[in-house]
Structure 1
């Protein structure tokens, strides 16, 4: 319970910064980033609730020191989810620092070579899988750039968690798309932002591992 409370509190404290980042980067392709403090973007209450819930989940799922790479991924994940939901993009300015920071924190906090090797292989596997989907299916390259970070974190828990997180992403996308169609908020063939589903699927896999 302590971990959940600390995580939720940390999410709430970070919410203003996460909301500002989401507002800054939630712009369509070809448009400049918004200036810091510019109006627009998701509301603070909505970001705060998502950040608190994500923080509580991280606090429940992780122990020291793995909580560090998981919290790093969660902070970026909240911003990426709001950006992708708003403008259907996962910008490099977020996915690349996420990948570098995740790799560095895993190396600093995990001292078993076999585990680090599994994290590397999982990152490569998910990156290659989503890269192939981006070439062959209606999937964005932003998803392929997000996938290695999620694969690295999931790889710490084992291959079954990697596969579960991968599978959950598609299940959530199907459920979300179906709900949007039933509510007449989208039509068949409309693009669906997949990043939030990838992120939530990975988080659920970590919680249920």
Structure 2
């Protein structure tokens, strides 16, 4: 059953990942701009549900947005690993539902340094609802109350960081922290702290890499580091690692 579960989760992840490029293209715009409704060639982005669901390819002029195959591969591997460590526990439904949304958020933030509310808030709400349902099953390995407290705690922590340095930390990161805190808090405070620290550490390492790279380019030494650094992907990777650890350690 574990192998079959992994295969099914990977297939689901691959299918969901193939649908990521279209919304990623539409949502990857600067603040204040409307979501893209046309491909680079000027053709309308048509499809199911007002053009949000479908392949990232214009029938008239070809593809747009990020490449679909790498994203599908990442999403498939992510879902397979979640299924491998979580098993048939009821919270797996929440993890598999959140994975494509998290990948989409990471892609958008990486491209335009932005975490749209239309993704972060449903991610948080969906995690609360799905984990609430999972908590009703006796086979669940976490705590719904802990998940709620985790969301509040991590969001509060990032809000403090935002108040300290609003130029380096955006409100989008704070809103993303709600959903990530809910998922990490499900497995307890130790996993919440571990996942949050992992995200901060990965972001710090990336920031150090940017500084070292710019040190060798005098013409860019005065560029603002925060303008070129998305925190969302690192927060998401840290939360993913925390969930894997929590699921593996759960009785």
Could you tell me the TM-score, scaled by structure 2's length?
0.76
Question: What are the ranges of 5 or more consecutive residues in structure 2 without an aligned counterpart?
Answer: 38-50, 247-251
Equivalent residue for 2:34, pick from 20, 32, 35:
32
Question: What are the ranges of 5 or more consecutive residues in structure 1 without an aligned counterpart?
Answer: none
Task: Give the C-alpha shift of residue 20 in structure 1.
Answer: 1.4
Deviates most, 151-160 or 3-12: 3-12
Matches for 1:49-88 after TM superposition, within 5 Å: 49-63=73-87, 64-88=89-113
For the residue of structure 2 that corresponds to 1:124, the secondary structure is: helix
Q: Partner residue of 2:224?
A: 189
**C-alpha contact 2:146 2:187 (8 A) present in aligned 1:** no
Matches for 1:36-185 after TM superposition, within 5 Å: 36=51, 40-63=64-87, 64-111=89-136, 115-137=143-165, 138-183=168-213
Larger Rg computed on CA atoms:
2
Segments of 4+ moved more than 4 angstroms = 181-188
Q: Partner residue of 2:8?
A: 6
For the residue of structure 2 that corresponds to 1:32, the secondary structure is: coil
**C-alpha contact 2:18 2:69 (8 A) present in aligned 1:** no
**C-alpha contact 2:207 2:225 (8 A) present in aligned 1:** no
Equivalent residue for 2:235, pick from 181, 198, 203:
198
CA distance in 2, matches of 1:144, 1:47: 25
CA distance in 1, matches of 2:110, 2:91: 28
CA distance in 1, matches of 2:213, 2:76: 28
**C-alpha contact 1:85 1:193 (8 A) present in aligned 2:** yes
Deviates most, 61-70 or 34-43: 34-43
Paired residues, number: 208
Pairwise CA RMSD:
2.1
The structure whose residues are more often helix, as a share, is: 1
Could you tell me the TM-score, scaled by structure 1's length?
0.91
CA distance in 1, matches of 2:71, 2:175: 23
